Structure 1
Amino acid sequence: MSSPDAAAPLRIATINTNGVRAAFRKGMGGWLDNRGVDILAIQEVRASTEDLENLLGSEWNIVHEPATAKGRAGVAIASRRSASIHRVELGAEDFDSAGRWLEADYEVGGRIVTVVSTYVHSGEAGTPKQDAKFTFLDAMLERMPHLAAHSDLAVVLGDLNVGHRKLDIKNWRGNVKRAGFLPEERAYFDRILGHEDHPAYNNGAGLGWVDVGRKWAGDVDGPYTWWSWRGQAFDNDTGWRIDYHLATPALAASVVNYAVDRAAAYDERWSDHTPVVVDYAI
């Protein structure tokens, strides 16, 4: 188990639990006990802060932003070190972002690392649900430059519910008109990741954040992070890569390992998502 004072890299993980209590009943606790995670971003908590404290134990410091509607969404960050909350609301006051955006600052080696756990709306093309998703993505675009200005070691983690490239969805042809792979959604990622080193994204203009997973894996299919419970999606690896570490360039440059903790078998899954674990040598 990692210690906050150890010289080892800082291990940061993200997971959409699809309900943290159910995930623990199915085996999440065993994974966490043996994975050496220092900071854990959780989405779709769907539980109370007290539930999180009881499940994770006293060795974890927990910050939690529940959704307005009980039993829905909810994001949290658990860490071996204490955090200072920087911001929990996103966008205009009349937009309900509760349970979908949570920031925390951590001191690591005398430097501030800013961690965001976020859960972007799933959306539904041509409906108000999609409008809410675009509003949230607009707010992200506005907020992310401020995050980078606040700390050059910042990372936005979570279920972003968008596959950026064709490589990120096994059946991309069948999803070009569906939420999660709409051209308008993917354009947001072009803007977030656009940089002179990546001229294919937004003609090289943009915010300059780094998709750690794609940088590490290269131009290969996946590795996917979500599979439907239905049919043979998991067994056939018909998945989506929608769980991200989006890091500032300085933090991305410190990555020494990236892992998608895909279950060995369908019946060993404890969420329809899988953890994405990254080691940062800060």
Structure 2
Amino acid sequence: MSAPLRIASVNVNGVRAAFRKGMGDWLEDRGVDILALQEVRAATSDLETLFGPEWNILHDAATAKGRAGVAIVSRRSAGVHRVALGADDFDSAGRWIEADFDIDGTLVTVVSTYVHSGEVDTPKQVEKFRFLEAMLERLPALREHNPLSLVVGDLNVGHTELDIKNWKGNVKRAGFLPAERSYFDRYLGPAGETVTGVDGVSGTGLGWVDIGRQSAGQVPGPYTWWSQRGQAFDTDTGWRIDYQLATPELAALASGYTIDRAAAYDQRWSDHAPVVVDYAV
């Protein structure tokens, strides 16, 4: 029996800085086959230098230099990749990249995405809602394209009260707004059924599966991001905003869900922890 496909995702908060702080050591020991990155904030040539010739690199930089940026770095080359999301007038550059991988005759589609952080009552929040709406349109098409599809990355929304340690203090802040969370109610609601979101808005469920919640059950966290300020990391006052969302067909093949939380604050190479899952494809 062949080894499972190991897929990891992490917001690196600047890939060059992450490597300076020890990301390369983590990667060398982790046995990752496909690695999705967010907030790359570097050029493709930088990625090629950091990862070396044994890795294949797909990279979509943001329109604004030094901002956002998503990539998929893999031990095998992708057959096809796509980077557009949403309407033609919507700038999704550096925030959405899809790749199709032939895994010994089985097609697996992986998306690395970086959803806007948003800011209430500003254009940033408008753009975030446009992105979440575009995902609502794209997810069914992805599943139709390939039943074994996976969307991973920093989605910048805590779906439920279990996903943020201090949820009561954040209900009016970007990242935990009911209108944001309602999109996740629809992404993850029963496929084809009417789903009423936490904000009271109804829509059709898409049937995708949150691998983290499927693995951990209905428990607080486990968190994937901690503020760099104060004692958030040491007290585990975090947010679970980094996800692996799978089609039901792929979710049935998932195991070994792990958040690679650093052993100590000074051993972190990003303010996010990698999310790692094995898929028996």
**Where on the TM-score scale, by shorter chain, does this alignment land: which range?**
over 0.9
In structure 1, the residue matched to 2:250 is 251
* Amino acid aligned to 2:22: G
Deviating more after overlay: 164-173 vs 107-116:
107-116
Using the alignment, how far apart are the partners of 1:218 and 1:89 within structure 2?
34
Deviation at 1:130, TM superposition (A): 0.2
**Which of 104, 109, 112 is 2:107 aligned to?**
112
Count of aligned pairs: 277
1:7 maps to 2:2: yes
1:239 maps to 2:238: yes
In structure 2, the residue matched to 1:70 is 65
Percentage identity across aligned positions? 72
Q: 1:200 to 1:268 in 2, by over 3 A?
A: farther
Instruction: Give per-residue Cα distances to partners, 1:55-101, cap 9 Å, x unaligned.
Output: 01111000000000110000000011101333201111111100000
Q: Return 5+ residue gaps in structure 2 as ranges.
A: none
In structure 1, the residue matched to 2:149 is 154
1:60-139 equivalent positions in 2, closer than 5 A: 60-139=55-134
Using the alignment, how far apart are the partners of 2:162 and 2:193 within structure 1?
16
1:36 maps to 2:27: no
* Amino acid aligned to 1:220: V
Contact 1:197 1:204 in 2 (8 A): no
In structure 2, the residue matched to 1:189 is 184
1:266 maps to 2:265: yes
Contact 2:191 2:206 in 1 (8 A): no
Contact 1:112 1:153 in 2 (8 A): yes
1:164-175 equivalent positions in 2, closer than 5 A: 164-175=159-170
1:177 maps to 2:177: no
Q: 1:30 to 1:201 in 2, by over 3 A?
A: farther
Calculate the TM-score normalised by the size of structure 2: 0.96
Using the alignment, how far apart are the partners of 1:84 and 1:109 within structure 2?
13
Contact 2:112 2:151 in 1 (8 A): yes
In structure 1, the residue matched to 2:213 is 214
* Amino acid aligned to 2:33: D
Instruction: Give per-residue Cα distances to partners, 1:154-211, cap 9 Å, x unaligned.
Output: 0000000000000000000000000000000000000100016999875894000000
Using the alignment, how far apart are the partners of 2:119 and 2:171 within structure 1?
13
Q: 1:20 to 1:115 in 2, by over 3 A?
A: same
Using the alignment, how far apart are the partners of 2:263 and 2:218 within structure 1?
24
Calculate the TM-score normalised by the size of structure 1: 0.95
In structure 2, the residue matched to 1:163 is 158
Using the alignment, how far apart are the partners of 1:115 and 1:223 within structure 2?
23
Contact 2:62 2:93 in 1 (8 A): yes
* Amino acid aligned to 1:21: R
In structure 2, the residue matched to 1:3 is none
Contact 1:194 1:201 in 2 (8 A): no
1:47 maps to 2:46: no
Q: 1:47 to 1:111 in 2, by over 3 A?
A: same
* Amino acid aligned to 2:270: S
